[in-house]
């Protein structure tokens, strides 16, 4: 890696609290993978660094996908006539079973790896399947993409076909420990994340074991929370003593201060659950398109932002069909408007600046200082040639950002940097 | 034009009532621009025709955009933080004023012409501006695209800036007559459509004159109906005697049996209005993305289909940001699911087959026998190379269609035919 470099161009990022920061014809400086800040004039101290002149192009932080499923990439946009639980049984579980076959896994995982390498996301939190070899293969492929990813071997020991579910909690936990053992020292950009699928798939014993592992090893953990009304009712039946879906996780210690946990969806959380998410610092992965495709609903993002929850965006493939977090941004804005119109007009729709914040700095915080060019942040950057999106109506960098969010695709991404390394 | 040809490939179209018709490795035959039908085996009578072998590619009817605004193309994805009426005053009217400058109009209209030529739509109903020269220029550019279009010089004589509105009804009507005169015999693929902007923009006298022109000349007519709650209230104030927004048009005779009229949006129509639309055979242009972007709401498409209304899809640029009617199809499905979840679970979401029907045959009916390969239909066709969308999970032509709707873009369109003419 070069010790450092300077990018020159039209710069746009989010600051603390979500404010949009724009600098036309400015400089962002990277040393040892870390941003030294954004400048109108290049400080003397950095003039010795090589300058990559991207004048007239837009420079934005890489995007962060807080929630997706790699083994579901092959059936994006299929079977979208079912709600969550039927969709899982009809499509997801049979398909995930096929990842016991490593050749099949390789062929399919190569597709998502290629997509992620070329697209605008630089960080990604992924579910794999229950299978150790396929999950390790996925990690190897993710490592090669150059993105920084967290990949999960799924845990599930109940309410799934025998061909897919692990035999019992003990087997699931020993598989998980073996997998963690295999991961040690193996990757520089890829790490393991504990991945109990969701409450209905995991026995109490399994959850207890995973919560213990999370604490002992200081590992991140991902799961699903309050996505679909029928799922929520089922969790209520499975855990009658918990009082809420969030509490059903919290009782094991997974949703608690000090834990690094991200929960996908959170569409139907009640006020006391929102408080619990807030107090515990749990991340919410908002997956708007998935929540529309599976007819789950629209999460109250305005509430989450007002309350100061940690929120980012997720593509949730294959509930969502599109891997780009730019699409998740425009979906989030559109659906927040429909929610405002149809459900609760006290919750103002999301703005472009807010959606951009969610898809960069908001989700980036799960990875540390990520998702901004503020001094000290890890240098993930996209250089976007938006010249073919420019018209006389595009008058500001914020206008250009809005056009990029709604209208760009991977063809416009000229360069992509992850923690200071240039992928292309 | 060749007298005829045969396309061979994997064929998918909609039949009467909306049923999806799929024929793998079949033939669709075109003679003099008209489909002779879809066949599993090529009939002897057509074996002399040149065969275009598109084996393994998908062949679907061209898509129909029932509602869009050409002069708004340059500000797609901008200013989406406002509702309809404020958005019109802040962005639309100032921008449309610039189309008094023909050089400006040319530069901008060339963009949408290029997009439409390359994209999946083969028919389009467009609003221009009030300006005669710019509207005729738009028609010339549309003619050159090879698409079949209806283009409207806008009528508006009130509630708009003086720089844009026409002086009075008389001036607006004489401009319109002059424009119609200029159009006569000038185009083969492009025709005029009367285009009163909406009730708030048009005096009663103007509406009376336009309705008379519509009847005398047998012209199609387009306008906007019941898009946004504030707009609906305003129409109620402007036309207290009408009883409903639909009636505010119907009293002039524009919404009546025998008239060829298309109304964009129809989000908030009451039951008696729906009956009026049904009995009059008025077309509804459903514009889902625009209705989300401007926070208007979600039209009850299931009701319209059940009632047997004539319905198609519209991109409604710049309320909508995307010109492709494939995007309008996936938006329509997603939003119908959100409406089902949030507003009325007695109205089942749209299926892929239904959305495909709306975007082809449903809207196509406004142009005559258009939007299907059934015998006697005008031959608009797309040949789509979806090989890079194929995975082991894609098992049927319906699966392939679903992937194309959600995931394809113009890069996958190999060939495009409009009324039997090959554009590329």
With beta carbons less than 8 A apart as the criterion, state whether B134 and B126 touch. no
User: Is the CB of B342 inside 8 Å of chain A's CB atoms?
Assistant: yes
| pLDDT at position A392 over 90 | yes
What pLDDT score does A2 carry?
54
With beta carbons under 8 A apart, name residues in chain A contacting B80.
Answer: 333, 352, 402
Q: Nearest CA of chain A to the CA of B134: how many Å?
A: 17
Give the 3-state secondary structure of residue A166.
coil
What pLDDT score does B81 carry?
86
Range of A411's domain? 4-62+372-422
Give, as one character, the DSSP assignment of residue A241.
Answer: T
**Band of residue A4 on the pLDDT scale cut at 50, 70, 90:** very high
Contact A104/B292, CB-based, under 8 Å?
Answer: no
CATH number of the domain that A154 lies in? 3.20.20.140
CATH number of the domain that B391 lies in? 2.30.40.10
Measured from the Cβ of residue B131, the count of other Cβ atoms closer than 10 Å reads: 25
A243: left (phi over 0), alpha (psi -120 to 50) or beta: left
User: Is the CB of B78 inside 8 Å of chain A's CB atoms?
Assistant: yes
Strand order in the sheet with B190-192: B63-69, B121-127, B148-152, B190-192
With beta carbons less than 8 A apart as the criterion, state whether A85 and A231 touch. yes
Best of B70, B73, B79, B81 to disrupt the A interface by mutation (most A CBs within 10 Å)? B81
Q: How far apart are CA B39 and CA A37, in angstroms?
A: 64
Q: Nearest CA of chain B to the CA of A291: how many Å?
A: 9
User: How many domains does chain A divide into?
Assistant: 2
> A412 and A341 in one domain?
no
- Domain end point (choices B345, B367, B389): B367
Give, as one character, the DSSP assignment of residue A19.
Answer: -
With beta carbons less than 8 A apart as the criterion, state whether A176 and A214 touch. no
> A77 and A214 in one domain?
yes
User: Is the CB of A348 inside 8 Å of chain B's CB atoms?
Assistant: no
> B119 and B26 in one domain?
no
> A302 and A244 in one domain?
yes
With beta carbons under 8 A apart, name residues in chain A contacting B349.
Answer: 81, 295
> A285 and A163 in one domain?
yes
Q: How far apart are CA A3 and CA A380, in angstroms?
A: 15
> A411 and A311 in one domain?
no
Low-confidence ranges of chain B (pLDDT < 70): 1-2
User: Is the CB of B103 inside 8 Å of chain A's CB atoms?
Assistant: no
> A110 and A191 in one domain?
yes
What is the average pLDDT value for chain A, to the nearest integer? 97
Q: In sequence order, what are the residues at sequence separation of 6 or more whose Cβ sits closer than 8 angstroms to the Cβ of residue B47?
A: none
Quick: pLDDT tens for A27-68: 999 999 999 999 999 999 999 999 999 999 999 999 999 999
Cα nearest neighbour of A229 on chain B: B341
Phi then psi dihedrals of residue A119, to 5 deg: -80, -175
With beta carbons less than 8 A apart as the criterion, state whether B382 and B7 touch. no
Q: How far is CA A313 from CA A68, A331, B312, in A?
A: 10, 10, 32
What pLDDT score does A80 carry?
87
With beta carbons less than 8 A apart as the criterion, state whether A379 and A417 touch. yes
Q: How far apart are CA B219 and CA B191, in angstroms?
A: 9
- Over range A173-180, report the average pLDDT: 98
- Domain end point (choices A367, A395, A410): A367
> A361 and A218 in one domain?
yes
User: Is the CB of A97 inside 8 Å of chain B's CB atoms?
Assistant: no
User: Is the CB of A101 inside 8 Å of chain B's CB atoms?
Assistant: no
What pLDDT score does B1 carry?
46
Complex ipTM value: 0.97
- Tell me how many residue pairs between chain A and chain B have CB atoms under 8 A apart: 121
> B73 and B10 in one domain?
no
Contact B402/A80, CB-based, under 8 Å?
Answer: yes
With beta carbons less than 8 A apart as the criterion, state whether B246 and B226 touch. yes
Contact B292/A402, CB-based, under 8 Å?
Answer: no
> A109 and A26 in one domain?
no
**Residues 304 through 323 of chain A touching chain B, CB cutoff 8 Å:** 321-322
Contact B297/A407, CB-based, under 8 Å?
Answer: no
Biggest alpha carbon–alpha carbon distance for chain A? 65
What pLDDT score does B2 carry?
54
> A392 and A289 in one domain?
no
With beta carbons under 8 A apart, name residues in chain A contacting B405.
Answer: 77
Block residue for tokens 């019941």: B226
> B355 and B289 in one domain?
yes
Strand order in the sheet with B51-61: B34-39, B20-31, B4-14, B51-61, B381-384, B413-418, B421-422
Can you give chain B as a three-state secondary structure string? CCCEEEEEEEEEEECHHHCEEEEEEEEEEEECCEEEEEECCCCHHHCCCCEEEEEEEEEEECEEEEEEEHHHHHHCCCCCCCCHHHHHHHHHHHHHHHHHCHHHHHHHHHHHHHHHHHCCEEEEEEECCCCHHHHHHHHHHHHHHCCEEEEECEECCCCCCCCCCCCCHHHHHHHHHHHHHHHCCCCCCEEECEEECCHHHCCHHHHHHHHHHHHHHCCCEEEEECCCHHHHHHHHHHCCCCCCHHHHHHCCCCCCCCCCEEEEECCCCCHHHHHHHHHHCCEEEECHHHHHHCCCCCCCHHHHHHHCCEEEECCCECCECCCCHHHHHHHHHHHHHHHHHHCCCCCCCCCHHHHHHHHHHHHHHHHCCCCCCCCCCECCEEEECCHHHCCCCCCCHHHHHHHHHHHCCHHHEEEEEECCEECC
Residue A321 has its nearest CB partner, among B75, B335, B406, at B406
- Domain end point (choices A322, A344, A367): A367
Q: How far apart are CA B127 and CA B104, in angstroms?
A: 17
């Amino acid at each position: 890696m070069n010790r450092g470099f300077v990018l020159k161009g039209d710069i746009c990022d989010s600051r603390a609290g979500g404010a949009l920061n724009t600098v036309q014809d400015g400089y962002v400086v990277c040393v040892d993978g870390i941003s030294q800040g954004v400048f109108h004039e290049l400080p003397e101290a950095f003039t010795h660094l090589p300058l990559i002149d991207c004048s007239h192009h837009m420079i934005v932080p890489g995007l962060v996908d807080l929630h997706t499923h790699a083994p579901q990439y092959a059936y994006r946009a299929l079977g979208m006539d079912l709600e969550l639980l039927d969709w899982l049984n009809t499509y997801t579980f049979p398909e995930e079973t096929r990842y016991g076959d490593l050749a099949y896994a390789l062929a399919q995982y190569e597709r998502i790896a290629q997509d992620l390498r070329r697209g605008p996301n630089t960080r990604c939190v992924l579910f794999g399947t229950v299978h150790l070899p396929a999950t390790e293969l996925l990690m190897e492929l993710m490592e090669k993409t150059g993105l920084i990813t967290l990949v999960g071997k799924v845990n599930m020991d109940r309410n799934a076909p025998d061909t897919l579910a692990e035999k019992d909690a003990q087997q699931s936990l020993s598989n998980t420990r073996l997998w963690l053992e295999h991961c040690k020292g193996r990757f520089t950009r890829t790490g393991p994340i504990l991945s109990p699928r969701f409450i209905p798939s995991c026995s109490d014993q399994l959850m207890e074991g995973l919560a213990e592992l999370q604490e002992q090893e200081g590992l991140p953990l991902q799961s699903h929370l309050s996505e679909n009304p029928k799922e929520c009712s089922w969790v209520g039946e499975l855990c009658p003593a918990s009082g809420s879906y969030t509490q059903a996780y919290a009782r094991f210690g997974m949703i608690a201060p000090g834990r690094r946990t991200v929960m996908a969806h959170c569409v139907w959380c009640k006020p006391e659950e929102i408080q619990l998410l807030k107090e515990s610092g749990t991340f919410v992965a908002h997956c708007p398109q998935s929540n529309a495709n599976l007819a789950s609903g629209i999460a109250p993002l305005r509430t989450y932002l007002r309350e100061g929850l940690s929120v980012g965006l997720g593509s949730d493939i294959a509930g969502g069909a599109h891997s780009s977090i730019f699409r998740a941004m425009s979906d989030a804005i559109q659906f927040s408007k429909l929610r405002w119109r149809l459900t609760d007009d006290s919750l103002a729709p999301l703005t472009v600046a807010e959606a951009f914040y969610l898809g960069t700095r908001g989700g980036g915080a799960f990875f540390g200082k990520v998702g901004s060019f503020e001094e000290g942040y890890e240098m993930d950057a996209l250089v976007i040639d938006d010249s073919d999106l420019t018209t006389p109506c595009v008058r500001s960098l914020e206008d250009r950002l809005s056009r990029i969010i709604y209208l760009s695709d991977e063809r416009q991404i000229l360069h992509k940097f992850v923690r200071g390394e240039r992928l292309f």
